[in-house]
Structure 1
Amino acid sequence: METTITLTDYHFLSILQLASPALPVGAYSYSEGLETLVENGTISCCQSLEQWITAELRYGSMRLDAAMMARSVAAATRGDIAALRQHNLWLSAVRDTEELRNSSWQMGRSLKQLLGKLQPDTLPLAEAVGNPCNYAIAFGIASAHWQIQPQTALLAYLHSWATNLITAGVKLIPLGQTAGQELLLSLQTLFSNTSQEILNLDDDQLGCCSWGLSLASMQHETQYTRLFRS
């Protein structure tokens, strides 16, 4: 069932900026193992890229990232520093590889620094979380500051993540720009359904099946020729 989300111009423009590919947090430098998967032939076309992204949204670790992001929006809104710290530590602990952990920490650090310049009011809460800070947690703090509802923030977060992977796929496979946009458009219903599922997850349901991503990430650490950092 679709949920109607009403946004003011301020909220709409704020979440557009936060989820923009132009946001200088370094997301463009990561492929989350996609570079390895293309090299070994696991992903070789638009269809196999779509299958990979779909599986990650339905069963993969992105669900954990997104769940912690949504919980961070709620915690930051009520000023619950203890909960934010717990979410951040938990998310760091469930990373399977050093590459994935470092990418999340680097993007989180960059977003915190950017928010400190754009919205200094976010600094006390962001600094209270501690360092390193995962990107999902920083994204949640920013969303709460701009009074973005968790579901809206989730849709933007998932869309931004998929956009980055598709952009990497366009470069690596390679795909045409139009094919990449067609793929992104075809994922809209999945974004909506996934966001609803994530919002309804209890703490004891926070699990994933991401061994494919873990193996790809570990292999990428020693891959001879690399364009991306993960």
Structure 2
Amino acid sequence: MTTGIVMGTAMTTDAILTLTQWLSPGFPVGAFAYSHGLETAIATMQLKTIGDLGDWLEDLVAFGGGHADLVILAAAYRARPPEVAQIDATARAFAASADRLLETDQQGAAFARTVDAVWGTDLGPLTYPVAVARAARSQDIALDVTARMYLHAFAANLISASVRLVPLGQTDGQRLLATLAPLITATTERALATALDDLAAPCFAADIAAMQHEILYSKVFRT
């Protein structure tokens, strides 16, 4: 079997392909339907240009929902089975709005259903980062690579939503995603060294945007 080295971690090609499949836009978690509050920020003209979006996503990745999800993911990956339910409950309690809870609950449940059906696991309904963590653990996929690719998929999905909403050019969106790569790597390293008790997400504008989305008059996205 062919092997590769990713950030110093040996992984089989099959493991890398499995993780790529799970976090691809084609995996049926409905990620295309969620904007993480971006729809509100765009509707209220807080985000009008690719530069505005870049600033917003840098904060989300480094300090907001992206970083918080990785702290939860790491805790769930390292946990013993009896501890998983409490970590999942923490993830639900940490959701800053009904929209954020819907996002992590629905995507996590859809992810778990598909992985259980295809890979024969028994994840059950979990929040999204917890479900991805336990699936990766069950398939012996390295934590650092799982976390980094999860955060990359998080950023890619929000860029895709913004390309459709603003609208922005596809090339500009891909350029922004490439620019975020070093931040994604640095954030992953920091998140994996952060204890669940130190979980924080001080991106209040994003939290408020998610709350306001619940009463937004016209919506394209569920969150």
TM-score (norm 2): 0.93
The answer for the alignment partner of 1:196 in structure 2 is 189
Do the aligned residues in 2 keep the contact of 1:151 with 1:195 (CA within 8 Å)? yes
The answer for the alignment partner of 2:127 in structure 1 is 134
> Residues 28-77 of structure 1: CA distance to partner in whole angstroms, max 9, x if unpaired?
100011011011111111111111110012221322211111222222xx
The answer for the alignment partner of 1:108 in structure 2 is 108
**1: CA distance between counterparts of 2:131 and 2:63?**
23
Residues 56-71 of structure 1: pairs in structure 2 closer than 5 A: 56-71=60-75
RMSD of equivalent CA atoms: 1.4
In the TM superposition, residue 191 of structure 1 has moved relative to its aligned partner by: 0.7
**2: CA distance between counterparts of 1:3 and 1:156?**
12
> Residues 81-122 of structure 1: CA distance to partner in whole angstroms, max 9, x if unpaired?
2221111000101111111101111111111110121011x1
The answer for the alignment partner of 2:9 in structure 1 is 5
> Residues 180-223 of structure 1: CA distance to partner in whole angstroms, max 9, x if unpaired?
11111111100110000001112342212021122101111111
SS in 2 for 1:229: coil
Deviating beyond 2 angstroms after TM superposition, the runs of 4 or more aligned structure 1 residues are 2-7, 202-205
Instruction: Name the stretch that deviates more: 43-52 or 202-211.
Output: 202-211
**2: CA distance between counterparts of 1:5 and 1:174?**
39
The answer for the alignment partner of 1:88 in structure 2 is 88
User: Equivalent pairs: percent with the same residue?
Assistant: 29
Do the aligned residues in 2 keep the contact of 1:104 with 1:134 (CA within 8 Å)? yes
TM-score (norm 1): 0.91
Unaligned 5+ residue runs, structure 2? 1-5
The answer for the alignment partner of 2:118 in structure 1 is 118
Unaligned 5+ residue runs, structure 1? none
Q: Does 1:205 align with 2:190?
A: no
The count of residues paired between Structure 1 and Structure 2 equals: 218
Q: Give the counterpart of 1:186 among 168, 179, 197.
A: 179
Q: Which amino acid aligns with 1:190?
A: L
Q: Give the counterpart of 2:26 among 3, 22, 27.
A: 22
Do the aligned residues in 1 keep the contact of 2:75 with 2:196 (CA within 8 Å)? no
| CA separation of 1:203 and 1:25: change in aligned 2, threshold 3 A | closer
In the TM superposition, residue 8 of structure 1 has moved relative to its aligned partner by: 1.6
**1: CA distance between counterparts of 2:114 and 2:97?**
26
Do the aligned residues in 2 keep the contact of 1:70 with 1:153 (CA within 8 Å)? no
SS in 2 for 1:7: strand
**2: CA distance between counterparts of 1:202 and 1:220?**
30
SS in 1 for 2:208: helix
**1: CA distance between counterparts of 2:109 and 2:196?**
26
Residues 44-83 of structure 1: pairs in structure 2 closer than 5 A: 44-75=48-79, 80-83=80-83
Q: Which amino acid aligns with 1:115?
A: V
